[in-house]
Amino acid sequence: MLIAPIARIAIRSLVVPILAVPLVIATLAAAQDAGAPPTEAVSQDAAGTSEPAATEAAAPEREAFEGTPAELAATYDTVTLRSIGKTFGGRDLQLLSVGDPDATWAALIVAGLHGRRGADESAVALDVAAWLAEHSEELPANTLFHVLADGSPDASAATAPSRAGNDRSIDDDGDGDLDEDGADDLNGDGEIGWMRIPDPTGEWAFDNDGVPVRAEPAKGTPRTHRIVREGRDDDADGKWNEDGPGGVDIARNFTWSFEEHTRAAGAWPASESTTRAIMDFILAEQRIALVYEFGAAETITKNPGWDGAWKKLPDDDGDLLTGLREMHAKGADVKRSASAPGNGSLGATVWNQLGRIWLGRAPLGRSGPVWPDGDAKWPQHLTVTWSAVSGDGVPDGAEVATITPLRTDVGDDEPDEPDDADDADDADDEGDEGDEGDEEDTVKLPPSIFAETPSIGGFLRDVAAARAVVAFTETFTAGSDGVLRLRTRLVNTGRLPTHTARGAQLRARRPLNVRVVLPDGATLAGGRPLVQIERLAPGGASDELAWVVAGKSGDTVKIEVSGPDLAPIAHEVRIP
Amino acid sequence: MRRPIAPTALALTWLVAFAAGALAQDRPATPPWAQDPPPRVAPRPEKKPEVNLRFDVYYHVDELHAAMRQVAAAYPDLLEIRSIGKSVEGRDILMGVLTDTSTGKDTDKTAFWCDGNIHGNEVQGGEASLYLLWWMTENRDLPRVRELLRERTLYVVPSINPDGRAHWFDAPNTMSSSRSGKRPVDNDRDGLFDEDGPDDLDGDGEILRMRVRDPNGGWKVHPEEPRLMVRVKPGEKGTYRLLGLEGIDNDGDGRINEDGPGGYDPNRDWPSDWAGPAEQYGAGPYPVSLPETRAVVDFLVAHPNIAGFQSFHNSGGMILRGPGTKEFGGYPRGDDRVMQALAARGESQLPFYRSMVIWKDLYSVHGGEVNFAYEGLGIFAFTNELWSRAQYLQGAKGATGDASVDRLRFDDDLELGRRYVAWKPLQHPQFGAIEVGGWTRRTGRVAPSFMIQEMSHRNMAFVLYHAAEMPLVRAGTVTSGDAGNGLRFVEATFTNEGMIPTRTQRSVDKEIGAPDRATIAGGGIEVLSGGVVSGRSLRVNDPEIRRPADLRLTGGIRGDAEIRIRWLVRGSGTVTITYRAEKGGTATLSLEL
């Protein structure tokens, strides 16, 4: 229920590649077929850069939420806010909960575990929480959505730009000193930027505009520089910024395939109070059936391929993932690279130890590594100039980058209209070449990070509706004179399994516990008093149950079923 | 060999001497039998202890802690009692900090860690640890004890699972319970915690075994010893069916004793090579999930001066070292050789004990305590499984070689039958007429009470030997020489007097802990370069020029070895050279240039 809308901004619509239009129409149609509300969608150009699609006509304008968790909780009476623990630095892990607090089924949305990317991820997660709150009347009954928008508040609060970890000091360079060589603001602009150092063994070269390109000596681009964060060699060990403040990367501190003796991953699995708080929360909340994470991993586009910590799941779980991807695609159609959860990640741990479903979504604009990590290319919409710096510990010839957007309208709150409606038509005519139109007007701007909120919110709503539901069926009773013979089947009528196949293998969660409750004086002459069923697959899978009870004619025998995320059910039968 | 002098020759010599003496003196001779007896070498009986502790009993955890405090009260300059944390049930985890405080703080000395009783039922580690504290303080004047206490610290925690220990004494138990601590676990995953543990049906304070007559059972009475049961061979017909341990179906789920108190393994809760509960029974949701483990881990991490590690378990007579799993791979050869040497000495100190590798000779353990000590912290570590059943009859005449029969014979002949309970009939609510009987908890895994002291002393001796071999950096020599062009060499040597290196190879390989540091300082000098003088060439092959006055020596000093460091300096005045090893202490040299 909306109390008072605050802290909102308008979502920006950006340059529209015509290629996207048919896909968008198809996607929207599919979504509407399923009863989901129209959503905004994004598509992608041939180079793999995400672009927002033309959605204004199909989807209602929606304002993104950009406030704090407390502001969100104050805005909606279906939202509560609490702390589930403290970080190493003493900050609260703020958990928003949207929906029925007494629900028997819940999902957990997590973001920002890795500090370096955390801001965008957290913003999207908060916006998804807002979307769920806005649509609380559409949410299935008896469901609850927990949102941990900032999974590493220490890292979020840090000012160092490359800070991925929490407040714990670690000896990154193994020299026995802690945090003694962090980045430095050499040019006094209040920012820690990038610094290039002349180095004939470096990995970088530069074009005439000073834009960095990967050196390829074999192809005529010789190595000229290396690029490091702006800083001096504070500890005179010949290295720059190799041991800055903090910290353990929470995104690598979970238990599954933990990287021992990797400082940034932590001293041991779940060494950090943040990690433990999240794991304890999931363990205590047996009703959490699904974890949806905004982070580096992207498993919704497609399966990134089983490897490493992304250990091959049983076939049934693979099929489940495929089904969930199809369900998700009804909300948006975004092409991007798949990326598996890594060692010590929440995702790998949720699947392989906690026995729940986990899905990873790399938010828009974050589907690839941040430059200059990995193979990332220089973002097209940015220009760079280099200024010389000097001083103690600053390497000879060092220069610091000043990076500015080519387009000055980036950051405007008002929606960007296409410069000329005819451009769109022209692009349409050009088919696949559309995204290579007028260079002056088609500089690739990153899409709004909030563009996918409705599709994600819609997916979460839909997956909650698809949860496992068990019922008795084909019940047969017989007997006479105080003897009851009972046979029945317990069936899962939901579209999701009661347990993941991996979880059932691991016995990671409580099974379906089927108990026979006898009236006073009755005895169980046949069958088990407690039957434990590890898993019922979706789509009508069932288990047969049978008992013989001796007791007083007319008394009632009760069969009770409970499961970790099921609404409990009971079936009563009279003794003949 | 010198030939012994015959008694008759001795007597003759004495007579001659006596006669000569008598003749030489004017005064009347005093017969030898009337003279004062020659001064005797003073007998040196074991001195009466200041603190009278018995080591023929097992101590309840409250008594154990009281005894520790009693020793500390008698020797406040040697022993301090600290609580390093609380257990699940709120009991203190008490540590004895044993060192001669007149020679420095505990943290300024290389330290040894010793604990016991991680499994609640493995109680004798508590007595062995308490004995160590008591014996070392009572024998403080022995030169080797004095030296150890002056230069080393021993951190001794007799029970790192005080809840499990208390439960072992306070509640009915089997020989193998209560292994875990007291955090409730839903072992049978029915949503209830600890709701169906064993039950003392006959009220004798023990959890024994249940049997029922069954002409088709898989067991029969032992042919030579009717009190014992043996499994029937294929083709044989049994007379009994064993029904497990004494208990009833408390929660009405058709099973017995499937969810008792606790129900986890505290020795699967340690961070190195950890695996989750699906991969091995007893692990928690993540390592260091128990408050007891956390207390120990926090202390170990905060005390990088710890360089030796011992954990007392029971039983089997083993001196165990890692790795805990085959998949982990082997330990670096240099480290393993030192550990083997330490364990080999232990085998001579501890008859009936064998040096073993955990995964290879016992079973696989992920997340074990001693594995963490070595693999995570780079500290040589052993688990001793105190007490071997081979020690019952010790190969004496009459031993049958049948372990069960020999144990019963031991109980009959040496314990006068106090540990075995004869089968007796009982009416069971689910099974009807049954019998209960068998061994009580104080047999099999724990040493008989009259053998506790020897067990404790021998294991203590192994600890003291290991502790004495921890690294100890001593200052050697310092010299200087003309290097030409107004420059001078300063060369210093430091030795490690322990068998254990200042940095284990594991520490070096995995960058565990801080590297050793060698610093040179002096107001009047400029340090131009520095480095370690290499082997035969006697050259500094890898000079440090960026920060030569503060050398980081990642390799440390090997065991029983010397390091030679040379600096090139300009200037004059007093020069101070310091070598700091996290686990080997600090040594300083000075020189006037």
**Cβ pair A447, A42 in contact under 8 A:** yes
Pairing of strands B229-231, B79-86: unpaired
**Nearest CA-CA distance, residue A22 and chain B, Å:** 48
**Cβ pair A149, A108 in contact under 8 A:** no
Contact residues on chain B for A239, CB-CB shorter than 8 A: none
pLDDT at B343: 98
Which residue from A352, A44, A110, A419 is spatially nearest to A250, judged by alpha carbons? A110
Check whether the bond before A152 is cis (ω within 30° of 0): no
Contact residues on chain A for B189, CB-CB shorter than 8 A: 507, 509-511, 513, 532
Is residue B13 assigned to a domain?
A: no
Min mean pLDDT across A27-41, A282-296, B298-312 is at A27-41
> Within 10 Å of residue B302's Cβ, how many Cβ atoms?
11
**Nearest CA-CA distance, residue B516 and chain A, Å:** 9
Same domain flag for A78 and A64: yes
- pLDDT per residue over A89-100, tens digit each? 999 999 999 999
pLDDT at A239: 85
String of b and e for B495-519 (b: at least 16 CB within 10 Å)? bbbbbbbbbbbbbbebbbbbbbbbb
**Nearest CA-CA distance, residue A367 and chain B, Å:** 30
Same domain flag for B366 and B303: yes
Is residue A382 assigned to a domain?
A: no
Residue of chain A whose alpha carbon sits nearest to that of B276: A353
Same domain flag for A459 and A489: no
Same domain flag for A40 and A146: yes
Contact residues on chain B for A562, CB-CB shorter than 8 A: 191
Mean predicted lDDT score pLDDT of chain A:
82
pLDDT at A19: 25
Mutant choice from A268, A516, A547 vs B, greatest count of B C-beta within 10 A: A268
pLDDT at A435: 37
Same domain flag for A283 and A367: yes
Is the CB of A261 less than 8 angstroms away from the CB of B512? yes
Give CA–CA dist B32/A69, Å, rounded. Answer: 104
Is the CB of A508 less than 8 angstroms away from the CB of B273? no
pLDDT at A335: 64
State the total domains in chain B.
3
pLDDT at A295: 93
Same domain flag for B377 and B426: no
Is the CB of B285 less than 8 angstroms away from the CB of A255? yes
Would you say residue B311 has pLDDT above 80? yes
Is residue B392 assigned to a domain?
A: no
pLDDT higher for A162 or B413? B413
Give CA–CA dist A271/A273, Å, rounded. Answer: 7
Domain boundary pick from A448, A464, A480: A464
CATH number at residue B489: 2.60.40.10
Same domain flag for B460 and B477: no
Per-residue three-class SS string for A177-244? CCCCECCCCCCCCCCCCEEEEECCCCCEEECCCCCEEECEHHHCECCCEEEEECCCCCCCCCCCCCEC
User: Averaged over B499-527, what is the pLDDT?
Assistant: 97
Residue A65's H or E segment, with its range, is strand A63-65
Strand order in the sheet with A143-148: A79-86, A92-99, A143-148, A105-111, A288-294, A357-361
Domain boundary pick from A464, A495, A528: A464
Same domain flag for A448 and A523: no
Is the CB of A268 less than 8 angstroms away from the CB of B189? no
**Cβ pair B570, B524 in contact under 8 A:** no
Min mean pLDDT across A384-388, B376-380, B502-506 is at A384-388
- pLDDT per residue over B167-218, tens digit each? 999 999 998 998 999 999 999 999 999 999 999 999 999 999 999 999 999 9
Is the CB of A175 less than 8 angstroms away from the CB of B273? no
User: Averaged over B23-52, what is the pLDDT?
Assistant: 64
**Cβ pair A351, A502 in contact under 8 A:** yes
Residue of chain A whose alpha carbon sits nearest to that of B273: A260
Min mean pLDDT across A3-12, A206-215, A218-227, B5-14 is at A3-12
Same domain flag for A112 and A131: yes
Max CA pair span of chain B: 106
Residue B41's H or E segment, with its range, is none
Contact residues on chain A for B375, CB-CB shorter than 8 A: 260
pLDDT at B536: 76
Same domain flag for B157 and B269: yes
Same domain flag for B342 and B428: no
Which residue from B479, B284, B315 is spatially nearest to B387, judged by alpha carbons? B315
Residue of chain B whose alpha carbon sits nearest to that of A176: B514
CATH number at residue A486: 2.60.40.290
Is the CB of B552 less than 8 angstroms away from the CB of A283? no
Is the CB of A268 less than 8 angstroms away from the CB of B511? no
Contact residues on chain B for A255, CB-CB shorter than 8 A: 274, 276, 285-287
pLDDT at A376: 64
Phi, psi of B267 (to 5 degrees): -95, 25
User: Averaged over A121-132, what is the pLDDT?
Assistant: 95
Contact residues on chain B for A515, CB-CB shorter than 8 A: 253
Would you say residue B491 has pLDDT above 50? yes
Is residue B35 assigned to a domain?
A: no
Percent of chain B at pLDDT exceeding 70:
92
Same domain flag for A423 and A301: yes
**Nearest CA-CA distance, residue A309 and chain B, Å:** 14
Mutant choice from B281, B286, B327, B527 vs A, greatest count of A C-beta within 10 A: B286
Contact residues on chain B for A507, CB-CB shorter than 8 A: 189, 278
**Cβ pair B132, B310 in contact under 8 A:** no
Q: What is the 8-class DSSP label of residue B350?
A: S
pLDDT at B538: 86
Give CA–CA dist A190/A182, Å, rounded. Answer: 15
Same domain flag for B373 and B493: no
Which residue from B458, B477, B471, B465 is spatially nearest to B500, judged by alpha carbons? B471
**Cβ pair B502, B496 in contact under 8 A:** yes
Give CA–CA dist A231/A241, Å, rounded. Answer: 6
pLDDT at B34: 62
Same domain flag for A312 and A444: yes
Give CA–CA dist B357/B382, Å, rounded. Answer: 10
In the chain, the amino acid numbered A449 is: I
Would you say residue B453 has pLDDT above 90? yes
User: Averaged over A505-510, what is the pLDDT?
Assistant: 96
Would you say residue B21 has pLDDT above 60? no
- pLDDT per residue over A539-569, tens digit each? 999 999 999 999 999 999 999 999 999 999 9
**Those residues with Cβ within 8 angstroms of residue B562's Cβ, 6 or more apart along the chain or in another chain:** B476, B493, B494, B495, B496
Check whether the bond before B178 is cis (ω within 30° of 0): yes
State which residues form the domain around B559.
473-592
pLDDT at A118: 67
pLDDT at A406: 64
Mutant choice from B189, B272, B519, B579 vs A, greatest count of A C-beta within 10 A: B189
**Cβ pair B260, B194 in contact under 8 A:** yes
Same domain flag for A127 and A153: yes
pLDDT at A190: 82
Return the SS3 of B231.
Answer: strand
Same domain flag for B457 and B479: no
CATH number at residue A53: 3.40.630.10
Size of interface A-B (CB pairs under 8 A): 89
Same domain flag for A337 and A451: yes
**Nearest CA-CA distance, residue B502 and chain A, Å:** 15
- pLDDT per residue over A430-460, tens digit each? 333 333 334 444 555 556 888 899 999 999 9
Contact residues on chain A for B373, CB-CB shorter than 8 A: none
Same domain flag for B298 and B382: yes
**Cα B140 from chain centre:** 20
**Nearest CA-CA distance, residue B287 and chain A, Å:** 7
State the total domains in chain A.
2
**Cβ pair A559, A466 in contact under 8 A:** no
Pull the structure tokens for residue A292.
């949806």
Same domain flag for B273 and B163: yes
Q: What is the 8-class DSSP label of residue A31?
A: H
Give CA–CA dist A359/B374, Å, rounded. Answer: 37
Min mean pLDDT across A209-223, A532-546, B422-436 is at A209-223
Same domain flag for B126 and B269: yes
Query: How many residues appear in chain B?
Result: 593
Pairing of strands A556-562, A512-517: antiparallel
pLDDT at A163: 72
Is residue A211 assigned to a domain?
A: no
CA distances from A119 to A154, A498, B318, B345 (A): 12, 34, 54, 59
In the chain, the amino acid numbered A267 is: A
Contact residues on chain A for B288, CB-CB shorter than 8 A: 268, 270-271
State which residues form the domain around A445.
8-157+248-371+415-464
Name the residue among B277, B376, B515 with its Cβ closest to that of A175: B515
Percent of chain B at pLDDT exceeding 90:
88
Is residue A503 assigned to a domain?
A: yes
CA Rg value for chain B: 31
Mean predicted lDDT score pLDDT of chain B:
93
Is residue A407 assigned to a domain?
A: no
Residue tagged 């008795």 (tokens): A472
- pLDDT per residue over A17-34, tens digit each? 222 222 222 322 233 333
User: Averaged over A104-109, what is the pLDDT?
Assistant: 98
Is residue B533 assigned to a domain?
A: yes
Residue of chain B whose alpha carbon sits nearest to that of A504: B278
Is residue B201 assigned to a domain?
A: yes
Same domain flag for A105 and A253: yes
Residue of chain A whose alpha carbon sits nearest to that of B514: A176
Name the interface residues of B facing A (CB cutoff 8 Å): 186, 189-191, 252-254, 271-274, 276-278, 285-289, 301, 375-376, 510-512, 514-515, 517, 546-547, 552, 554
**Cβ pair B232, B215 in contact under 8 A:** no
Same domain flag for B295 and B161: yes
Is residue A541 assigned to a domain?
A: yes
User: Averaged over A378-396, what is the pLDDT?
Assistant: 86
Is the CB of B274 less than 8 angstroms away from the CB of A529? no
CATH number at residue B136: 3.40.630.10
Domain boundary pick from A400, A432, A464: A464
